Amino acid sequence: MQDQRFDEPVRIALGRSRNSIFNVERVAQAADILMNRWPVATGQRHMAARKVCLAVLEGKKEASAARAAFISAAIEADILVEPREVSMP
């Protein structure tokens, strides 16, 4: 297994009321969430993200592909948390 880190974490909201924010930083963490903790019924992007994450863990794809697929699945499931804007003084 070749777990890899994402260039930047992906923030998602899980839990019954989606009040638990997670910073997903590694492919194995994304795969675990996709397979065991996904909050909605399976969708097309969800299944694609699972396949891409597994391909990365098998050394067949790069982490950037898994990150992009994970973000797409999170958008489909409406759990992606947008980065907070930093206010300038």
Q: How many domains does the chain have?
A: 1
Q: Which of 23, 42, 7 is nearest to 80 (CA)?
A: 23
The one-character DSSP state at 40 is: S
Tell whether 86 is covered by a domain.
Answer: no
Residue with tokens 């003084």: 89
Helix (H) or strand (E) holding 25: strand 20-26
What's the whole-model pTM score? 0.88
Tell whether 84 is covered by a domain.
Answer: no
Name the band, by pLDDT with cuts 50, 70 and 90, for residue 89.
Answer: very low
Tell whether 82 is covered by a domain.
Answer: no
Find residue 5's DSSP bridge partners: 26
Residues found in the chain: 89
In this prediction, residue 2 carries a pLDDT of 77
User: Is the pLDDT score of 86 beyond 60?
Assistant: no
Dihedral-angle region of residue 59 (phi above 0 means left; psi in -120 to 50 means alpha; beta otherwise): left
